Amino acid sequence: MEQIKQSLRDSQTARWIALLLISSTMFFAYFFVDVVAPFQTEMEKIYKWTPEVFGMLGGSEFFLNVFAFFLIFSGIILDKMGIRFTLITAGITMVLGASIKFYALTQGFADSNLAITLNSFLTWIPASAKLAFIGFSIFGVGVEMAGITVSKTIVKWFKGKEMALAMGLEMAVARLGVFAVFRLSPIFAENGGPSNSVYMGLAFLLIGFITFFIYTFMDRALDKQTGEIVTSPEDEFKISDIGKIFSNPGFLAIAGLCVLFYSAIFPFQKFATDMLASKLDVSIKDAAAYFSYFPIGAMVLTPIIGYYLDVKGKGATMMVFGAVLLTISHLLFALIPAESFSVFAAISIIVILGTAFSLVPASMWPSLPKIVEERYLGSAYGAIFWIQNIGLLAVPILIGWALSASNPGVSAQIAANVQGVKYDYTVTELIFTAFGVLAFVLSFVLKAVDRKHGYGLDLPNKKS
C-alpha cells in the first residue's frame, strides 16, 4: 500500500523539475510582456506613437481577456479540459500574438495594403500600433491563460508541501524575465531598433513553448500514477460554481487587493524607463539598466518569503506590509525633485518597490487555495486574473493620458526631435501612490474577512 501511495509528486527531484519547466516558460513570457517598455521615446520618434498610444499598447494586452471574458473562459477550460490541454493552447496563443506584434513593426507591414487599410480610420493611431494592439491582445490571452494554469499546476504538485516556496520561486524566475528585458532589450535594439528586440522576444517564446510541451509528459505520468479522475458528479466543476466564486467575501477581498497592487506595478514598468531617464537626465539604456534592479529584490525575497509562509504563515499580514512599501516607493518618486534625485536614490526606491513586489504576490497566490474549493480553483484563478486585467487594461491608458495632459506640447516636440525635452512624471506617480493607499486599506479589510470566516490566511501552508 505504501508503494501505491508514492508518485512523482512525492519525489523532490520530480517536483522541482516540473517547476523549472513551467517557470522557464513564464520567464520568456514576462520578457515579451515588457520587450518594448524601454522604448517609449523611441517608439514616438520612429513610429509616431504618442504617450496615449504607447499606453494603449500596454492596455491592449488585456483587452480580449476583459471584454471578451477570455480569462473566465480560460479558467473554465482549465477546470474542464485539464492542465496539459490548457498549457499547449496558451503556448500556441502566445506565439501567434507575438508574431503579429512583430510583423506590425516591420517594413514589410508598413509597405502593405493592410497598413493602408488600417490607416484609413482612427488616423491619430498609427497603423503599426493598431496591428500591434491586435497581436498583443492575442498574446495577452495566452500569457494570462498560462499564468492561471501554472498556478494550478503548482498547487497540483506542491499542495501540503512547499507550495508557497514553489510559487515564490516561479515568480522569482518570471521576475528574472523582467530583469533580462530591461538589460537585453536595449542591446538588441542597437542593431535593428525596437523591432529587433520584439523579434528576439518571439524567439524566446518559441523556446518557452518547448518547455511547456516537455512538461506535459511529466503531467501525464503523474496522472497515470495517481489516477486523478473525477470519482463523483459532486466533484465536477459546474458553471454555477462561478457564482460561488464571486459571492465569496475572501475571494472578493483578495481580487480587489490584486487589481490595486498590480495596477501600481505592471503599468509603471511600461513608463519607468523614460521616467528615470527624464528625472536623472541619462540615456534610455542607462535608465533601463537602473530599473532592471527592480525585479532583483523580488527574485531574492519572494522564495524566502514563500518559505516563511510555508512554515510560519502570516500571509494576510505580509500583504499589509507590501501595500505600505508600495505607497512609499511611488510617493518618493513623485515628491523628490529632479535636482535632488540621484542614481543612488533611484536604485534604493526601486529596491523598496521590488520588496513590495515580493511581499504581496508571494502571500496572495498561495492564499487562494485556502479560500475556494480545489474543483473550481482554475476558474477562481481565471476570475481573479480577469479582475486584475481590468485594471491592467485601464491604468496604462490612464497614465498615458495623464502624462500628456500634465505635459502639454511635450509630445509634439519629442516627435519633432527637439533636443532636451522631457516629461514630468509627478502626476502619474501620484496616481500610482493612490493605488497603494487603497491597497493598504483593503489589506485590513482582508484581515477582517479572514478573522470572520476562518480561512487561515495567517496560518502556515505546509502540513506538519
Helix axes 194-226, 163-189, angle to 10 degrees: 160
The whole-angstrom separation of Cα 26 and Cα 19 is 11
Select from 149, 144, 157 the least CA-distant residue to 78.
149
Phi, psi of 325 (to 5 degrees): -65, -35
CATH H superfamily, domain 11-453: MFS general substrate transporter like domains (1.20.1250.20)
DSSP 372: S
**Cβ atoms 40, 270 nearer than 8 A:** yes
- Cα 283 from chain centroid? 26
Question: Kindly report the CA angle at 181 between 179 and 187, in degrees rounded to 5?
Answer: 120
* Residue 333: all three cell numbers together: 518618486
Query: Tens-digit pLDDT profile for the chain (464 aa)?
Result: 344 457 788 888 999 999 999 999 999 999 999 999 889 888 988 999 998 899 899 889 989 998 988 888 888 899 889 999 999 999 999 999 999 999 999 999 999 999 999 999 988 999 999 999 999 999 999 999 999 999 999 989 988 888 888 988 898 898 899 889 989 999 999 988 999 999 999 999 999 999 999 999 999 999 888 875 444 444 555 667 778 888 999 999 999 999 999 999 989 988 998 999 999 989 888 998 898 888 777 777 878 888 888 888 888 899 999 999 999 999 999 999 988 999 999 999 998 998 888 888 778 878 888 888 877 888 888 889 899 889 988 999 999 999 999 999 988 888 788 888 889 999 999 999 999 999 999 999 999 999 999 888 888 877 65
| CA distances for 168 relative to 188, 308, 429, angstroms | 29, 11, 27
pTM, full prediction: 0.79
Q: Indicate the domain borders of the chain.
A: 11-453
- The position carrying cell 504581496 is 360
- The position carrying cell 532589450 is 185
**Cβ atoms 54, 135 nearer than 8 A:** no
| Residue type at position 463 | K
**Cβ atoms 367, 313 nearer than 8 A:** no
Give the number of other CB atoms < 10 A from CB of residue 137. 25
The whole-angstrom separation of Cα 435 and Cα 10 is 41
**Cβ atoms 450, 249 nearer than 8 A:** no
The whole-angstrom separation of Cα 81 and Cα 83 is 7
The whole-angstrom separation of Cα 133 and Cα 53 is 10
CA atoms within 13 A on the CB side of 184: 18
